[in-house]
A and B are shown apart, each in its own frame.
Chain A
Amino acid sequence: MMPLLAIVRVRRAGGGFTFWAPLFLLWLVLVPVAVLAAPFFLVVCLTRGLSPVGAAAGVLGVLCALAGSQIGVDAPDASVRIRLI
């Protein structure tokens, strides 16, 4: 399943914030864009000798596999954590 939420947590000496980014809204916005880009995608795949279905499945697989990723950086004056759910 695609990540539906990104949690960005920033801590600084003077404070910090936590931002919950609803990625599902981003996917909803990107669906019409993907439909519009599909013919170009098809042409590029065919000219490069790639299977359009395989390429689309591969990209979709990477997007779906992003859920669960975490990146955290703790520095002396700030810390940033990004988590995809």
Chain B
Amino acid sequence: MSEDRRKILELLAEQMITAAEAERLLSALERSASAAPPRSEATAGRPKYLRVQVDAQDDQHGGAPVKVNIKVPMQLLRAGVRLSALIPAPAREQVSAAMRERGVPFDLGQLRPENLEEVLEQLNDLTVDVDQDRAKVRVFCE
């Protein structure tokens, strides 16, 4: 349900508008939605940035808030993956072995540009929230 539709229904529930007015508003909303140019599926849900936000407390300043905000273009991730394809095979195997030892069974060789687009599209739904007493970390795509 869209935000506008919810607001109209809330106004109706609070009896601030009549049922007829709500109906007119909803039909106007549907008209404007259908008149809007359709977004292509290829670009609609594709995230452009990877955001990392850290809210922490500075112990040296009596627990004053410290915020870190990092915005990384997805294009940089793509370029990084393409660059990782240039890693020589022996080095790649060492990286994969080291990751396996740490419990991440991930093979860098399997990350190819053609798979990358699919991964990046799925990142749209990614949100990582880490809440601790003294720090909060949020990783998401937008």
Chain A interface residues (CB < 8 Å from chain B) = 48-51, 54-55, 57-59, 61-62, 64-77
Contact = CB atoms under 8 A, between A and B. Distances in A.
Contacts of B44: none
Interface of B: 48-49, 58, 61, 64-73, 75-76, 78-80, 82-83, 85-86, 88
A68 B71 contact: yes
Contacts of A76: 58, 61, 64-66
Nearest to B69: A72
B49 A68 contact: yes
A6 to B, nearest CB: 14
A75 B66 contact: yes
**Nearest 6 interchain pairs by C-beta:** A76-B64, A61-B79, A58-B83, A70-B71, A65-B75, A65-B76
B58 A69 contact: no
B69 A67 contact: no
Nearest to A57: B82
B79 A73 contact: no
A9 to B, nearest CB: 13
Contacts of B80: 62, 65
B83 A61 contact: yes
